[in-house]
Structure 1
Amino acid sequence: MSHAYDKEDSTQREAATVSTQPRTVARSEKQAHRIIVVGGGAGGLELVTRLGDKLGKSGTAQVTLVDRSPTHIWKPLLHEVAAGSMDPNTHQLEYVAQARWHYFEFQQGELTGIDRERKLVKVAACLDQDGAELLPARELPYDTLVLAIGCVTHFFGVPGAAENAIALDTVDQAERFRRKLIAACVRAQNGRGRVGEDGRPRVDVAIIGAGATGVELSAELRNTAHVLNAYGLHQLDPRRDVRIHIVEAGPRILPALTERVSAETTKLLRKLDVDVFTSERVTEVTKDAVLTASGKHVDADLTVWAAGITAPGVLRTLGLPVSKMGQIVVGPTLQCETDPDIFAFGDCAAAPWPEKQTTVPPRAQAAHQQATFLYDAIRARLAGKPLPKFGFKDFGSLVSLGHFSAVGSLMGGLIGGSMFIEGLFARFMYTSLYRMHVLALHGAIGMGLDTITHWLRSKTSPRVKLH
């Protein structure tokens, strides 16, 4: 997030790192109900922020967030980080600072297990970049446990995929891709890269998977190619020499969205000279190519894997019921079927969606709705009241094509039906999703300051990170 929120001095931040204790505690620790939320993604961070403000501040509960990373970034932004159109340093939020401001604790480390008999969460040691131990392995006691650790990339066992393709699960992966893209362009213009059939230097980027991440990345990359050319980092023709290919196993792109959204997006991508290959199942990824079952050979100086997600493997080791995808199976109250003291939500949970006779889809809007629900449900649990049942409301889906356009559909409670939208209005709606997340973390004034700060920064910085 913006440095406008860096309100504490270094001494306070160091103290928060060591003790991570809430500032105001009205009860003793023995009396306070211990709530642990594992996972500081969009939903998890929103939940602990609200619980800390309500229960942590009053001392009614001791609220703790556990995450393996020290910072948070809204995951739908990672494709912009990969394309260089967003500097992650200006959008990341430090968990320690958020904990200090909102009366919860932060414990850095990766979840390794749960002792359900003793009601302990096991957290791995935290290491620095050189492998030296910063924090030891720990066991944290809980009364209520919430799992919100999200999902990871699924390579489906495709040979060479894990070794030669870059996933976009973390900021580090996105930044690695951005650096490799710039390096590939510089090499190509100096005759150290691939040469096309026309004898011109060429850079090929293959994106495997045409869901929202793959499609949004392709459009952002087309803009990046233009900007890098404008700033003189390469003299390649942004459209003819920088080739972008999307490879999708299904019959159309954006399979989770409506056919109209898929068709309109395909038209827009082709106008941007993005090659769209559908019904092409990837069978192998090499260092310089993507091979498909039909025999197609797609040149690739860089390959991004955005073809699927799966639940983190640790969930299968907890002794809790899991779905075929490895997600924790929860009921209508989002409680684990075999342990009412454990809740799960977001991408790591298989929550029922009775209206569609399926489970709630892994979307940011679902995590936001579930975080709001759990805030009320946990308060009811502490008050000894019966828990409500979660009901997912699908408000539609939006896909950003960067500076070029946006498309999507609005559904359900927003308009009473469904409506296709595109262009400026769709871009505004897409941007508002992130603003809603900032609002949940910082309130209306904080969101306003953050918006102004980033607008001012955009006026004094290049549109793409150039180094």
Structure 2
Amino acid sequence: MPAKGKPYQLVIVGGGVAGIEIATSLGRKWRGARRRGQSAPEITLVDADFAHVWKPILHTIAAGTRDVAQQNLAFVLQARDAGFAYQPGALTGLDRAAKEIVVAPLMAPDGRTVIPERRIAYDTLVLAIGSEANDFGTPGVKDHCRFIDSRRQAIAFNHEVRTRMLQAVAFEQPLSIAIVGGGATGVELAAELIQLLDISTGLGAKGLAGLMTVTLMEAGPRLLPAFPEDISAATERRLTSIGIKVMTNAKVAAATETGFTLADGSEVTAGLKVWAAGVKAPGLLASLDGLETGRNNQLRIEPNLATTRDPSIFAVGDCASLQPAGASHPLPPTAQVAHQQAHHLVTYLPYWIASGRPPPPFHNKDMGAIVSLSEYDAFASLGRLGLFRGVTFRGRLAQFSHEMLYRGHQQKIFGFWRGGIVWFLDWLNARVRAPVKLD
């Protein structure tokens, strides 16, 4: 418990899907309590970036088919509007005995220290620092491949792909793009790149269509291994029909400056290489003051989402590993799971803080999965709940369902009315601004 006279400190590390929803919902709840003259905990959100972007749309920002400026949510503005504090910086350490986290200094581009290293005290800590691509130790990947795990990486990739496209047109040289990973991220990025190509051709880059190629490689026997087989097969057919070369059973042995070497010894030439295969939590978690981690650096957590070795520290989303009773695998690292875990803590953390009673076990609801192939198609599965469990569908209904996931997240962080206004502004901007990022 906090020292006498000091408010309770809830610290959340990571402003992704789960972190921003927890900070926003509880920030508003407790700010209202303080306005009524009641005591309430204080919330601090810590993140290495300055803005939140819903991770499932990073591939559209990377391709430039969605403008990052419209989708950014500055943490400092959200903190003001929702009633929490924001501290910029990356988590670098944890002192469980002192109940403090260590935050890296904030550096200016010229090397000056803007904000020095800090120690932030907590009474309850929520770790929601997400995940990153797993290169599985494959030689050359870190040196030669691009990643799109963060807002900054997506922006950097978009800048690079637009530069390469301009060079391809100006010098009439081929532009080959290869994506490793046939999960949802790789599949959706491949489709968005074809959308970028189609729009760019329509805007005057006439020769680009004959110069730019997109190859999607998957080590397993089919794309989208987490989806039903009929969706995997239909997705491969649709990607092929829009001009993407799909390679399954294509295990990458190494990345090189000129492309990829496969396990069978063959070569795939690529000037621009993207790694979207596998997921792991940041390596820092494996050495975080004795907290238990498992496969892929994920923190092991109890059914109530508390870490196994410290009941005052919770972990949610991609950085946490929870295997439900009777399940053969841990819960997948998806926005759907992160959202449900955030809702669980928003509901029960106030009782934990007020009474000391641990939250009840978390129960995940499999709501199915959706994959969007840009404007070309979409596929969805209804999961294992409800009357129509296991049903799959495609087309505009699936595209609309995919869009509604994002709009639901926006309403969580903006509120019903502001969320509706943001949706309208997105609709309006789509009709008055360029369909791809050009500046």
TM-score (norm 2): 0.95
Whether 1:287 aligns to 2:262 is: no
Whether 1:36 aligns to 2:11 is: yes
Aligned partners of 2:14 and 2:47 also within 8 Å? yes
- Unaligned regions of 5+ residues in structure 1, if any? 1-26, 194-201
Using the TM superposition, give the Cα deviation of residue 405 of structure 1 relative to its aligned residue in structure 2, in angstroms.
0.9
Distance 1:180 1:338 in 2: 43
Distance 2:171 2:97 in 1: 63
Q: Secondary structure at the match of 1:398?
A: strand
User: Cα deviations across residues 62-82 of structure 1 (Å, max 9, x unaligned)?
Assistant: 111011111110111110011
Aligned partners of 2:169 and 2:208 also within 8 Å? no
Match of 1:396 in 2: 368
Distance 1:192 1:290 in 2: 23
Task: Name the amino acid aligned to 1:81.
Answer: I
- Unaligned regions of 5+ residues in structure 2, if any? 34-38
Q: Please say which of residues 303-312 and 52-61 is displaced more in the overlay.
A: 52-61
Distance 1:129 1:399 in 2: 38
Task: Name the amino acid aligned to 1:440.
Answer: K
Q: Secondary structure at the match of 1:352?
A: coil
Q: 2:56 aligns with which of 76, 83, 89?
A: 76
Q: 1:150 aligns with which of 113, 118, 130?
A: 130
Whether 1:458 aligns to 2:430 is: yes
Aligned partners of 2:165 and 2:208 also within 8 Å? no
Using the TM superposition, give the Cα deviation of residue 386 of structure 1 relative to its aligned residue in structure 2, in angstroms.
4.5
Whether 1:256 aligns to 2:226 is: yes
Task: Name the amino acid aligned to 1:35.
Answer: L
Aligned residues: 431
Whether 1:235 aligns to 2:210 is: no
Q: 1:208 aligns with which of 171, 177, 180?
A: 180
Match of 2:36 in 1: none
Whether 1:123 aligns to 2:123 is: no
Using the TM superposition, give the Cα deviation of residue 218 of structure 1 relative to its aligned residue in structure 2, in angstroms.
0.6
Q: Please say which of residues 96-105 and 347-356 is displaced more in the overlay.
A: 347-356
Distance 1:184 1:126 in 2: 32
Aligned partners of 1:331 and 1:352 also within 8 Å? no
C-alpha RMSD of the superposition: 1.6
User: Cα deviations across residues 83-123 of structure 1 (Å, max 9, x unaligned)?
Assistant: 11011111000111111111111111110111111111111
Match of 1:301 in 2: 271
Whether 1:270 aligns to 2:250 is: no
Task: Name the amino acid aligned to 1:391.
Answer: H
Using the TM superposition, give the Cα deviation of residue 415 of structure 1 relative to its aligned residue in structure 2, in angstroms.
3.9
Whether 1:359 aligns to 2:359 is: no
Distance 1:414 1:451 in 2: 28
Match of 2:321 in 1: 350
Distance 1:418 1:29 in 2: 54
Q: Secondary structure at the match of 2:297?
A: coil
Q: 1:164 aligns with which of 144, 148, 157?
A: 144
Distance 1:317 1:357 in 2: 27
Aligned partners of 2:168 and 2:211 also within 8 Å? no
Distance 2:291 2:407 in 1: 35
TM-score (norm 1): 0.89
Q: Secondary structure at the match of 1:149?
A: coil
Using the TM superposition, give the Cα deviation of residue 183 of structure 1 relative to its aligned residue in structure 2, in angstroms.
2.2
Q: 2:284 aligns with which of 306, 314, 317?
A: 314
Task: Name the amino acid aligned to 1:54.
Answer: K
Q: Secondary structure at the match of 2:186?
A: helix
Q: Secondary structure at the match of 2:227?
A: coil
Distance 2:154 2:46 in 1: 23
Using the TM superposition, give the Cα deviation of residue 383 of structure 1 relative to its aligned residue in structure 2, in angstroms.
2.7
Q: Secondary structure at the match of 1:265?
A: helix
Q: 2:215 aligns with which of 219, 222, 245?
A: 245
Distance 2:5 2:186 in 1: 49
Identify if the C-alpha distance between structure 1 residues 395 and 168 changes in structure 2 by more than 3 Å, giving closer, same or farther. Answer: same
